[in-house]
Amino acid sequence: MRKSIALVTGASRGIGAATAELLAKQGFFVIVNYLKSDKAAEQLIAKIEQDGGHAIALQADVSIEEDVVMLFNAIDEIDGTLTALVNNAGILLPQSTIENINAARINQILTTNVTSYFLCCREAVKRMATKYEGIGGAIVNVSSAASRLGSAGEYIDYAASKGAIDTLTTGLSLEVANQNIRVNGVRPGFIYTEMHADGGEPDRVERIKENIPMKRGGQTIEVAQAIAWLLSSQASYVTGSHIDLAGGK
Which residues are CB-neighbours of 197 under 8 A, at least 6 positions away?
none
Q: Given CA atoms 212, 216, 217, 220 in this order, what sign does their dihedral have? A: negative
Which residues are CB-neighbours of 164 under 8 A, at least 6 positions away?
110, 113, 114
Does 117 qualify as catalytic in the annotation? no
Q: How far is CA 67 from CA 26, 60, 147, in A?
A: 28, 5, 27
Separation CA 20–CA 43 (nearest Å): 12
- The single residue of 132, 158, 192, 237 carrying the catalytic annotation is 158
Separation CA 159–CA 86 (nearest Å): 19
Q: What backbone torsions phi and psi does residue 202 show, to the nearest 5 degrees? A: -55, -35
**Beta carbons within 10 angstroms of residue 38's beta carbon:** 12
26 in the Ramachandran plot: left (φ > 0), alpha (ψ -120 to 50) or beta?
A: alpha
Long-range CB pairs of 170-173 (<8 Å, 24+ gap) are 170/240, 172/121, 172/125, 172/139, 173/239, 173/240
- Give the DSSP H/E element, type plus range, for residue 139: strand 137-142
Catalytic residue numbers? 158
